[in-house]
Structure 1
Amino acid sequence: MGKPTGFKEFKRETAARRPVELRILDWNEVYLDIAEEKLKLQGARCMDCGIPFCHGPAGCPLGNIIPEWSDLIYKGRWHDAIEMLHKTNNFPEFTGRICPAPCEEACVLGINEKPVTIKSIEQNIIDHAFKEGWIKPCPPAMRTDKKVAVVGSGPAGLGCAAQLNKAGHQVTVFERADRIGGLLMYGIPNFKLEKHIVNRRVDLMKAEGINFVTSANVGFNIKVADLRRDFDAIVLCGGSTLARDIDVPGRDLNGIHLAMTYLPMQNKTTLGNRIPEREFINAKGKHVIILGGGDTGADCLGTAIRQGCKSVQQFELLPKPPTVRVQDMPWPYWPMIYRVSSAHEEAAVPTGHDVRDFAINTKSFSGENGVVKKLQGIRLEWEMQGSRPVKMKEIPGSEFTLDCDLCLLALGFISPEPEGPISQLGVKLDQRGNVLVDQNYMSNISGVFAAGDMRRGQSLVVWAISEGRQAAVGVDEFLMGRSDLPKMKLF
């Protein structure tokens, strides 16, 4: 431990965000670089606490060895730090930017102080390594004669493919979109994750021998029977893409869209795709209402602001959460507290207040000439058990009507799409509609595996990477009878 008293001497300091008035003019990342010396001091804040909950079950799903690389950064041993980081995480440039950092909420220092800036340190380790030219293709020294098809190129698919390639198998990743990356490419806005960062990693994986096939919709233009014939194993790593909708009068009006219809269009345009104006969903000059208070809703918020919306509001069905941990949110578990993202900060600048409103139920939409113009809502009162809402009722007389030219539904996701490989392969599903697998991530069909959102339901990018890595162990054992790939017990 480099600085035993570091956590007493140095305050938590994260990278600054670019000024709001500048960053909303472009699609570039929000955060500025942090000086190397400042980052070293942040690494010194790690307590060497003895039982590091940050990489335990409540912290990092990848099992990142956080105290070790925090100490290495304090000592200026950057090359050793990236070696340590890559032992558990294939893509720290992704998680360092878009993970909500459950590791920080599980930090022992966070019990009574502000936790270590784990996420910032992680991102800077990998960014420094790329800058120094340390990250180079590392194809396996030997190849097996086994072929594996990975369906889906999101974080689960990429994580699985990377590990299976390290084991020497010939891996082909099938992606139905026109670019590799899944959620990383089209679901997450550029201002949170610039796409050249995704492409940089994909190019490395190609150089390591992984084959990528785009515009390959397995179960449709790519036959499942062909994959079963040509590959020794199949891993289903598609997302939980069946979106939750809303069933109220007026839902069929034009101008009401699912978030994952809206967000990819802007990403494609930023990347140079040409989308006809009549098809492009644009918030410019419109009164925008976003239904759903999660990360996807915040992504819609930041996108609508950059497109030049006239006004924007974000409604959440649940009540406003507390600002700090309460009794039924014990450390080290993730607390459901009130948070302010960069998008919420941007929205508050012109209005002077948070554009979010809580405990709101949408009753109906109304419009003119088939286009939405108004949203009718009502306020709710929630019966609570501690911090947990259990039963709602409408507040009489609290009805309201608001201008609404564009409504974006960011209400979460139900399950993977049942059509395509799921139905054609005949894999069993659990009660939530996710693929049911055993301890080795294999389904009821021999040689067919599943990981990520398709197995566990909608979750974090860091969970998806972890799932992909663990499924790769199961595939390797199935193909070779044993595996030397690192394994964590996540079930």
Structure 2
Amino acid sequence: MTTDSMLKFVQTAKRMPAKRAADARRQDFDEIYDEFVTDHAAEQAGRCSQCGVPYCQVHCPLSNNIPDWLMLTAEGRLEEAYEVASATNNFPEICGRICPQDRLCEGNCVIEKGFESVTIGSVEKYITETAFENGWVKPVKPPRERDESIGVIGGGPAGLAAAEQLRKRGYQVHVYDRYDRMGGLLIYGIPNFKLEKDVVERRSALLADGGVVYHPNTDIGSTVTLEDLRGRHDAVLIATGVYKARDIKCPGVGLDGIYPALDYLTASNRKGLGDAVPAFDDGTLNAQGKRVVVIGGGDTAMDCVRTAVRQGAVSVTCLYRRDRANMPGSQREVANAEDEGVDFQWLSAPEAFVGDGRVDGVRCHRMRLGVPDATGRQAPQVVEDSSYTVDCDMAITALGFDPEDLPAMFGAKELEVSRWGTVRIDFRTMMTSLDGVFAAGDIVRGASLVVWAVRDGRDVADRIHDYLAAKAETASARSAA
């Protein structure tokens, strides 16, 4: 390592890639950040202190070797930087864009206090885009092909990460997904201004070039049963994610004009992909010209409010029952939404939806934070006689997601689930109650971050390999006897 390439955080201020002006980015769904130019990426990577205990790596679910690829970037060794970044992450170009770095790696950077963190996510994105531009990103070429096949249910980040890891070992991998494209929420749930869809499609095409076989428009339970897949494959992975919107329980919830967040985001993303979307075109799931209220404080709520702005909503209000400091969403996303004109009403919660057949307002009450609950967060409490009404033509509920009833959907009553409806697994083997059937990602841990789904996909690929290797060894011993 050259002596003058690192430790520049004292002399060099934190610098993000250029961000498009709010007025400009309100007009389209393009990504809001430009890419780093080479000199700026090297300069920001050089701010890394190369500390002995890198908290950035410790707080990354994938344990990415962040100091190493920052050092290589600072020294201009970008191909090596990509090799290091991709060694622990199947989708660095995606995580660099959508990970909440302010809560993970950057938020735990040891130089954060007084100097501000290294811009880890933007450098990660820069490294990978440079790798694609230079042809350094290649399809998987396993050293040898294996006869065993694995069926993966779900083409989201957990399923695709597992698929790639299994292909690296030479397994025949088939991915089944209910939708017409691979990517899951990366395609249908996350707006373009955070993750342009050609980035996801480029990666899924690369996996196909490496031998992963896709089966789109395949709904397990109707198109094909779980038992059918168990007959076709030597192992099956359930990586469906969680899509069922959590209900909101208050008067007026049945009025027209109230929609779950994922329905709204899917319609917008499909429109952006060029699909025919009647529910968008007829104005049902289109915020243009409407007063929009979004209920929730997570990243999905931020996606909804910023999508509504771009669709031409007259006003966009976000209601959250806690204060800004206690919201689960990325503070960076909140700041971007505020720049774009979103009105955040903190410590506010819906009391009722009002209207005659169709919603025309949300009656809210003020909240205050009381004693901490079991998780350590202060529990919100209603302030008496504090009701007020927010005018509204369209309300979007973004309160999180729960798993669907997989045993019923898959026709597999023997598939055990937890009391939350997530698939129950043995955490040592990641196998479900069905022999040879594994599960990973949100369908096990509940709704979480994409980076955790990638981690789970990588881990379960190892456990599937262990299972098949043990099975082959047992079969070999029996035949020898």
TM-score higher than 0.5 here?
Answer: yes
Instruction: Report what 2:446 is aligned to.
Output: 457
Change (3 A) 1:167 1:219: same
Cα distance in structure 2, aligned partners of 1:181 and 1:410: 21
Cα distance in structure 1, aligned partners of 2:284 and 2:355: 20
Q: CA deviation at 1:430?
A: 2.2
2:127 counterpart of 1:125:
yes
Q: CA deviation at 1:421?
A: 5.3
Instruction: Report what 1:320 is aligned to.
Output: 324
**Contact 2:298/2:330, CA 8 A, preserved across alignment:** no
Cα distance in structure 2, aligned partners of 1:338 and 1:192: 14
Query: What are the Cα deviations for residues 251-272 of structure 1, in whole angstroms up to 9, with x where unaligned?
Result: 1111000000100101001111
Q: CA deviation at 1:295?
A: 0.6
**Contact 2:65/2:85, CA 8 A, preserved across alignment:** yes
Instruction: Report what 1:92 is aligned to.
Output: 92
Query: What are the Cα deviations for residues 145-188 of structure 1, in whole angstroms up to 9, with x where unaligned?
Result: 10100000110011010001111100000010111110000000
Equivalent position to 1:284, from 288, 297, 306:
288
Instruction: Report what 1:397 is aligned to.
Output: 385
User: Which AA in structure 2 matches 1:363?
Assistant: E
Q: CA deviation at 1:283?
A: 0.6
Structure 1 unpaired stretches of 5+: 324-334, 349-353, 484-491
Change (3 A) 1:359 1:74: same
Instruction: Report what 1:470 is aligned to.
Output: 459
Equivalent position to 1:414, from 377, 381, 402:
402
Instruction: Report what 1:188 is aligned to.
Output: 190
Instruction: Report what 1:487 is aligned to.
Output: none
**Contact 2:20/2:34, CA 8 A, preserved across alignment:** yes
User: Which AA in structure 1 matches 2:43?
Assistant: L
Equivalent position to 1:344, from 337, 341, 345:
337
Query: What are the Cα deviations for residues 100-134 of structure 1, in whole angstroms up to 9, with x where unaligned?
Result: 02111122112443111111111100000011111
Equivalent position to 1:11, from 6, 10, 13:
13
**Contact 2:321/2:380, CA 8 A, preserved across alignment:** no
Equivalent position to 2:142, from 140, 143, 157:
140
Query: What are the Cα deviations for residues 82-115 of structure 1, in whole angstroms up to 9, with x where unaligned?
Result: 1111110111111010000211112211244311
User: Which AA in structure 2 matches 1:468?
Assistant: G
Cα distance in structure 1, aligned partners of 2:329 and 2:320: 14
Cα distance in structure 2, aligned partners of 1:280 and 1:232: 45
Change (3 A) 1:10 1:416: farther
Q: CA deviation at 1:343?
A: 4.3
User: Which AA in structure 1 matches 2:370?
Assistant: E
**Contact 2:293/2:319, CA 8 A, preserved across alignment:** yes
Equivalent position to 1:302, from 303, 306, 326:
306
User: Which AA in structure 2 matches 1:209?
Assistant: G
Q: CA deviation at 1:414?
A: 2.6
Change (3 A) 1:339 1:55: same
Equivalent position to 1:179, from 178, 181, 198:
181
**Contact 1:53/1:106, CA 8 A, preserved across alignment:** yes
Instruction: Report what 2:82 is aligned to.
Output: 82
Q: CA deviation at 1:385?
A: 4.1
**Contact 2:95/2:451, CA 8 A, preserved across alignment:** yes
**Contact 1:302/1:346, CA 8 A, preserved across alignment:** no
Q: Secondary structure at the match of 1:481?
A: helix
Q: Secondary structure at the match of 2:464?
A: helix
Cα distance in structure 1, aligned partners of 2:379 and 2:192: 38
Change (3 A) 1:396 1:114: same
Q: CA deviation at 1:9?
A: 1.7
Instruction: Report what 1:351 is aligned to.
Output: none
| TM-score normalized with structure 2 length | 0.92
User: Which AA in structure 2 matches 1:14?
Assistant: M
**Contact 1:158/1:468, CA 8 A, preserved across alignment:** yes
Structure 2 unpaired stretches of 5+: 473-481
Q: Secondary structure at the match of 2:9?
A: helix
Change (3 A) 1:289 1:114: same
Q: Percent identity?
A: 38
Cα distance in structure 2, aligned partners of 1:5 and 1:391: 42
User: Which AA in structure 2 matches 1:5?
Assistant: L
Q: Which deviates more, 270-279 or 119-128?
A: 270-279
Any residues of structure 2 matched to 1:223-302 within 5 Å, and which?
A: 223-276=225-278, 277-278=281-282, 280-302=284-306
Q: Secondary structure at the match of 2:160?
A: helix
Cα distance in structure 2, aligned partners of 1:342 and 1:18: 14
User: Which AA in structure 1 matches 2:454?
Assistant: I
**Contact 1:416/1:453, CA 8 A, preserved across alignment:** no
Q: CA deviation at 1:417?
A: 3.9
Instruction: Report what 2:67 is aligned to.
Output: 67
Instruction: Report what 1:328 is aligned to.
Output: none
Cα distance in structure 2, aligned partners of 1:258 and 1:336: 18
What CA RMSD, in Å, does the superposition of the two structures yield over aligned residues?
2.1
Q: Secondary structure at the match of 1:424?
A: coil
Cα distance in structure 1, aligned partners of 2:7 and 2:192: 39
2:217 counterpart of 1:208:
no
Q: CA deviation at 1:316?
A: 0.5
Higher relative contact order (CA 8 A, sep 6+): 1
Change (3 A) 1:207 1:365: same
Q: CA deviation at 1:397?
A: 2.5
Cα distance in structure 2, aligned partners of 1:239 and 1:144: 28
**Contact 1:53/1:108, CA 8 A, preserved across alignment:** yes
